[in-house]
Chain A
Amino acid sequence: MIDLDEIEPAPPLRRRELLFATAFGTAGVVMVFVTLIGAYLAARNAAGDLWLEGSRIPLTQANMQMATLVMAAVTMQWAVYSISRDDRLHTYLALGVTLLLGAAFVNQTTFLVKQANVVLAEPGGALFYSVVGFQTAMVVAGLVFLVIMAFRVLAGQFSSRQPDGLSAAAVYWYACVATYAVVWIAVYVMK
C-alpha cells in the first residue's frame, strides 16, 4: 500500500508562468483571427452583392450563440472568483457550467453551418469557413484547456495562493468570447 505521507509534495510552481504563457499564446491566436476577419471583410467589400449570394445565414442561431458565450464568460469569472476564495465547490460548479455552455456553443455552430449551406467554391466560401472554423476551433481548444485545468483543480494544484491555471484559462476563454463577438457582428449581423 502506498503511504501518502512518504510522497513528496509537488514543488512550488512559478507564479504567473502559465498566465504569461497563455497570454502570449492567446495573442498569437487572436492575431490569426484578426488577420482572417480582416481578409474576410476586405474580400466582402470587393465582392459586393456576389458575396455568399447562394447562402442563407439565419441570425437567430447566431444570437443564441452570442448569448451562450456571454453566459459562459460570466460563469468562467465565477470559477476564478471561487478558486481565489478557496471555494472549491463553487469552482467545480462554475467550471462544469462553463464547459456545458461551451459545448452547447460548438453544437450550435455545427447546426448553423449546416443551415447556412455555404459552398466552399463560391466567392467568400473559403474565407467563411476559415473564419467560422477557426473561431470554433478556438472554443474547442478552450474547452480542452478548461478540462485540463478542472482536473488540476480536482488534484488540488490550484487554490487562492496559486490560482494561475484558472486565471490563464479565463484569459483564453475571454479571448474566445471576444472573437466570437466580432464574428457575430461582421459575419452574421452585417452579412
Chain B
Amino acid sequence: MTVTETAPASDAVASAPNRSQTGLERILGGADHTTLGRAFVLTGLGWFTVAIIARGVVGADMVADNGVLGDWLAVVSNSARVIGPLGLAGALMGVLYVLVPLQLASPAISYPRGAALAFWAWSLAMFIFTVSVAFDGGVGGANTEAARLGNVSLGAILASLSLAAVCVATTVLTHRPPGMGLARVPFSSWAALLGSSLWIITMASAFAHVVVGHVSRANAEGLAQNFVGGILWMSRAPAVYVLAIPILGIALDVTSSVTGTRIRFYGLAQGLVGAFAVLSIGVWAQSDRSINTIVWTLFALGIALPVVGILGLIADSFRRGRFKLTPAVPLVVVSVMFLFGSATAGLLWALNLAGSGTLLGFDTTLLGAAQVTFVGASLVTGVIGAVFHWAPQFWGAEVRSAPALAAAGLTILGGSLLTTVVLVQGLIQRNGERPANQLFGVLVVVAAVMYLLGVLGAFSAIRGTVRAGADGPPDPEVTGETLEWALPTPARGARIPEDLPEVSSPYPLAPAEESAVKVSR
C-alpha cells in the first residue's frame, strides 16, 4: 500500500493510533482523522478569537475617533475579516474531519495524509498571514513585502482548505457502508459533500486572483486593489453562504438527536440543503456589474427559502419530540437563524439596488460586511454546537451543562449584538456619513467581549470534558440513530466494530420496524 492510500476496514487495527504515543506525537505525526479534526477545531476557534480581539480593537478605535489604530485601521480591519471566516472555515472542516467518517462507519478519512497536509498547511499559512499583518501587510497594508507575504499566505490558506475539502467530499462518496446510498447519508455528511464540493470551486476561483496578484508583482496598493476586485466577492452573497452549507446538516442532525425524532420528509430536507448549496454558488458574481442584475437579486432573495424551510423542519421536530435544553440546542438553532439574518441583509441590499441607490441609500459596503458577520456568527455557533453535541465522540464525555450553557449564551449574545450593530450601521450610516459612530464603536467592543468570553467559555467547557474523560456524566437522553452513536468514545480512527447494523434507512440504529415505517412514509 502506498502512502497515499486509505486503509480499508480490514486494515483497521494497523491504522489505529499507537497507544504509546503522546498526544503531541499523535498530532504531529499521525493521520488519524479524529486527532486532526480536534486540532483543526481548536486551532480554528483560536484564530477566531484573534479575529474577534482585532474586531474589538477596531470598535475601540471607532470610539476614540481613530485614536487607537491610526494608519493601521485598514489593515487590522480588513485582515480580521479574512482571519475570522477562514479560521472558522478551518474549525468547521475539523468538525467534518471527525464526524463524516464516523457517520459513515469508516475507519479513516480519504487520503489521511493529504488531510494532515491540509491541516498543517492551513495552520502555517494562517500564522504567516497574521505575521504579515503585524508587518503592515495582510490585506490593505502599506508594506509591499509584507503585503506580498500576506497574498501568498492567503493563497496557501485557500489551497489547503480546498485540499481538505477534497478529502471530505471523497470520503462521503467512497467510504459509505453497504446500503447507504446518497439518499440515506446523514444530513451532516450530505451537507459536507455539497459544501466541500462548492468550497473547492469557490476557493479555487479566489486562488486564481491570488496568482494574478503574485505574478503581476504588484505593490501593496495594487495587491489591495486585487483583493477588492478579485477576492472580496467571497465575503458577500451569494458566495459567502458556501462556508455555511455544512451548518445546515449539523443543525438537522443535532435536532433529530436531541428531540428523539426523525426529521420529517428526509428527501425534502436533503433537497433544501441542496437548494441552499445551489443558491450559494457565487463564482459568477465576482464583479460589481454582476450584482445589479436580476439573477443576483433572485439568488440574494432565494437563499432565504431553504433556510426558512429547514427552520420549519427543525421546529416541527421540536413540536413532535421531547425538548431537552442541551447546550447544543440553542447554538445550532441560532446558527441557522443567523443565516436568515444574512439573507435579510441581502434582501436590503437588493431593495437598495432596486432604486439604484437613490431610493434608500444604504451603505452597501456595510451590508456586505453584515452578511459575512452573520455567516461568521452562524459558523462559530454551529461549530461550538457540534462539538458540544458530539462531545462523547470528540472529547470522550458529555459536556457539563452549566459552563457549556453559559458559553453558548455568551456566544449567541455576542454574535447577535455584533451582527445587529453592523446591519444597523449599514442602514443608518448612508452616503458616506457616519452618525452615531462612537455609539456603534461601544457596541462593537461589548459584542466582541461577549463573543470572546463565549469562545473562551467553550474552550473551558471542552477542557473540563476532556479532563472528565470517560468518567464524565453520561446522558442517555442525548443519543442518535446514526452510526457515530454506535462507535466507542472518544472516537479514534480505525476503531470500527464489525457488528454494526446493515444500513437500510437514513437512521441505521433505529429498530427495524420503526425504520420500515419511516422509509415507507
Closest to B210 in A: A32
Contact B208 A11 (CB under 8 A): no
**Taking CB as reference atom, which chain A residue is nearest B289?**
A42
Q: Given the known inter-chain contacts A32-B205, A39-B208, A126-B215, please indicate yes or no for A17 contacting B11, CB distance below 8 A.
A: no
Kindly specify which of B29-37, B166-174, B397-405 makes contact with the partner chain.
B166-174
Residue A186 CB within 8 A of the other chain: no
Return B427 CB to nearest CB of chain A, in Å: 33
| B interface residue count range (under 10 / 10 to 19 / 20 to 34 / 35 or more) | 35 or more
A111 CB within 8 Å of chain B: no
- B463 CB-CB contact with A under 8 Å: no
Which of B2, B6, B215, B283 has the most chain A CB atoms inside 10 A of its CB? Answer: B215
CB of A70 within 8 Å of the partner chain: no
Cross-chain contact B200 with A27 (CB below 8 angstroms): yes
Q: Give every chain B residue within 8 A of A54 (Cβ-Cβ).
A: none
Interface size on A, residues (CB 8 A): 33
Please tell me if B430 contacts chain A, counting CB pairs below 8 Å.
no
What is the interface of chain B mostly: helix, strand, loop, or mixed? helix
**Hey, which chain B residues are within 8 Å of A36, CB to CB?**
208, 211-212
- B299: CB under 8 A from chain A? no
Q: How far is the CA of A127 from the CA of B209 in the complex (A)?
A: 10
Contact B212 A127 (CB under 8 A): yes
Tell whether A17 pairs with B174 under 8 Å between CB atoms, given A11-B8, A31-B283: yes
Q: Chain A 120-150, CB within 8 Å of chain B: the 1/0 string?
A: 1000011101100110000000000000000
Q: Is A191 an interface residue (CB 8 A)?
A: no
Residue pair A32, B8 in contact (C-beta under 8 Å): no
Within 8 A of A (CB), among B1-22: 1-2, 5-8, 10-11
- The reply to whether A133 and B166 form a contact with Cβ atoms under 8 Å apart is no
B324 adjacent to chain A (CB < 8 Å) = no
Contact of B201 among A14, A20, A31, A125 (CB under 8 A): A31
A85 contacts the other chain (Cβ, under 8 Å)?
Answer: no
- Taking a contact as CB atoms under 8 Å apart, the answer to whether A35 and B170 are in contact is no
A35 in contact with B174 (CB, 8 Å): no
Residues of B within 8 A of A25 (CB): 166, 200
User: In the complex, which residues of chain B have a beta carbon less than 8 angstroms from the beta carbon of A4?
Assistant: none
Q: Is A48 close to B, CB under 8 A?
A: no
Q: A11-B11, A17-B174, A21-B111 are in contact. Are A152 and B2 (CB under 8 A)?
A: yes
Question: How far, in Å, is B245 (CB) from chain A's closest CB?
Answer: 15
Expressed in whole angstroms, the Cα–Cα distance for A14 and B283 within the complex equals 32
Tell whether, in the assembled complex, residue B174 and residue A16 are in contact, meaning their CB atoms are under 8 Å apart: yes
Q: Contacts of A126 on B, CB cut-off 8 Å?
A: 212, 215-217
Identify the closest chain A residue to B165 (Cβ). Answer: A24
Question: Quick check: is B162 within 8 A (CB to CB) of the other chain?
Answer: yes
User: What A residues does B10 contact at CB under 8 A?
Assistant: 11-12
CB pair B215 A35 closer than 8 Å: no
Given contacts A11-B11, A20-B173, A126-B215, A32 and B6 within 8 Å (CB-CB): no
**Structural contact, B170 and A39, CB atoms closer than 8 A:** no
Cα A118 to Cα B39 with chains together (Å):
46
Per the bound structure, the CA–CA distance linking A139 and B286 in Å amounts to 27
19 contacts between A and B (CB under 8 A): A11-B7, A13-B5, A14-B174, A15-B174, A20-B170, A20-B174, A21-B110, A25-B166, A28-B166, A31-B204, A32-B204, A35-B208, A35-B283, A120-B215, A125-B216, A130-B208, A130-B211, A130-B215, A152-B2
Hey, which bits of chain B sit against chain A, CB under 8 A?
1-2, 5-8, 10-11, 110-111, 162, 165-167, 169-170, 173-175, 196-197, 200-201, 203-205, 207-209, 211-212, 215-217, 230, 283, 286-287
Using A21-B111, A120-B217 as known contacts, list a sample of 5 further A-B pairs with CB atoms less than 8 Å apart, ordered by residue number in A: A15-B174, A17-B110, A28-B203, A130-B208, A130-B211
